[in-house]
Amino acid sequence: MGYAVRIESAEVVITSPGRNFVTLRIVTEDGVTGLGDATLNGRELAVASYLRDHVVPLLLDRDASRIEDTWQYLYRGAYWRRGPVTMAAIAAVDTALWDIKAKAARMPLYQLLGGASRSGALAYGHASGRDVPELLDSIRAHLEQGYRAIRVQTGIPGLASVYGVASSSAGGGERYDYEPARRGSGSRVLPAEESWDTRAYLRHVPTVFEAVRREFGPELPLLHDGHHRMTPIQAARLGKALEPYDLFWLEDATPGEDQAALRLIRQHTTTPLAIGEVFNHVHDYTTLLSERLIDYVRSAVTHTGGVTAMRKLLDLAAVYGIKSGIHGPTDISPVGMAAALHLDLAIHNFGIQEYMPHTADTLEVFRTSFRFEDGLLHPSDTPGLGVELDTEAAGRFPYQPAYLPVNRLADGTVHDW
């Protein structure tokens, strides 16, 4: 059977240094520790329970070196396949096992994935503002921080709060530069509710990009997230209207579960399309890839079955000339971000990496070695993922219920966000 190393323990750690994270910590009989991110924003305890009650008992005494076999064992053995809770749990196990294998090999993970294909991963930052002047200031601040690509989000006239805009007024008026699910007060926490008007949004957004291009010129890569709020024909209209401003991509224009919608959008616009942060399996992509209906895969390692599954997904995307754009805001822990960066460095069809720096409290809990320099991210050459968990610090930040906002139309109907 060759070399084998037994899994001696597996622990689920829940911590909330500004926002909630779920981490799986696996330790082998020879003392090597591996970490996996299992965070599912707003539904963290569901994954924690899945891991603690159903997965951890299956891991003890298994061979930590058999990563593919363990992945298939957990996926096929459960009978109930796919879904965000299941796939986040499997992702945590898979990523932790890759961390262990790379540490045992005394190599950074990207070396085990075939070595570096580039010197660093181009990252984009999140610029936003309640109005155009505030947005332009935010873009300038991100450029000063070294970003070479910028996601542009803005408030909409007539709407008090818009998800993805850091200075929106929902949740008490505080800024939320780290896009957390909102925490409430008292014994019962409910999602914040925001009003939405798609027609106002469609009128406003092209004028915003006109102003941004006028200020910053044609070279700066610009991205925009529609947050699933449009119908297919509305998304087609927006994509067409944004063509003069040469977007790097238009993201999540329509609800992700309606793959046929992308056919209609594609027929009407040449604006590049990205989707997938709510997907959790390669089968969510098969139509989109084979028919070339998107340009960028937006899944996260954390939510899509880990390093093993994401590598297979991105290799399949490469067959169709489709690139990566791995999900990476701060609802992905530093463990999940590090896993993404090792893939970014290794794969051939890298496109861009989403990046929002974590808070100081988060970086007290998760000791990272990846770096951001001159617009590029690098996972570092530390063996394994290059992230360590300070369990004592984690214990100082107990879980707090928090939820993403709910959107309602003017008539009170709950709407996609």
Q: Of 26, 39, 85, 23, give the one whose Cα is nearest residue 395.
A: 23
What pLDDT, on the 0 to 100 scale, is given for residue 176?
58
Q: Which of 110, 147, 163, 176 is catalytic?
A: 163
Q: Of 218, 288, 209, 213, give the one whose Cα is nearest residue 242.
A: 209
Q: Where in the chain is the domain with CATH 3.20.20.120?
A: 113-381
What pLDDT, on the 0 to 100 scale, is given for residue 163?
79
Sign of CA dihedral 184, 186, 188, 193: negative
- For the chain, which residues score pLDDT lower than 50? 1, 170-171
> C-alpha distances in angstroms, 22 versus 98, 230, 237, 272, 393?
18, 32, 39, 33, 14
CATH classification number, 6-112, choose in 3.30.390.10, 3.30.300.280, 3.40.30.10, 3.40.50.720: 3.30.390.10
Q: Which two tokens stand for residue 398?
A: 């107990």
Is 296 noted as a catalytic residue in this protein?
Answer: no
Is 163 noted as a catalytic residue in this protein?
Answer: yes
Q: Which of 126, 142, 224, 227 is catalytic?
A: 227
Measured at the CA of 231, the angle between CA 261 and CA 402, to 5 degrees, comes to: 105
The per-residue pLDDT for range 304-341, each reduced to its tens digit, is 999 999 999 999 999 999 999 999 999 999 999 999 99
What pLDDT, on the 0 to 100 scale, is given for residue 20?
96
What pLDDT, on the 0 to 100 scale, is given for residue 1?
42
> Secondary structure of the chain in the HEC alphabet?
CCCCCEEEEEEEEEECCCCCEEEEEEEECCCCEEEEECCCCCCHHHHHHHHHHHHHHHHCCCECCCHHHHHHHHHHHCCCCCCHHHHHHHHHHHHHHHHHHHHHCCCEHHHHCCCCCCCCEEEEEEEEECCHHHHHHHHHHHHHCCCCEEEEEECCCCCCCCCCCCCCCCCCCCCCCCCCCEECCCCCCCCCEEECCHHHHHHHHHHHHHHHHHHHCCCCCEEEECCCCCCHHHHHHHHHHHHHHCCCEEECCCCCCCCCHHHHHHHHCCCCEEECCCCCCHHHCHHHHHCCCCCEECCCHHHCCHHHHHHHHHHHHHHCCCEECCCCCCCCCHHHHHHHHHHHHHCCCCCCEECCCCCHHHHHHEEECCEEECCEEECCCCCECCEEECHHHHHCCCCCCEECCEEECCCCCEECC
Q: Of 48, 112, 57, 40, give the one whose Cα is nearest residue 303.
A: 40
The per-residue pLDDT for range 169-187, each reduced to its tens digit, is 544 555 555 566 777 666 7
> C-alpha distances in angstroms, 359 versus 43, 179, 342?
21, 11, 22
Q: Where in the chain is the domain with CATH 3.30.390.10?
A: 6-112
CATH classification number, 113-381, choose in 3.10.450.50, 3.30.450.20, 3.40.720.10, 3.20.20.120: 3.20.20.120
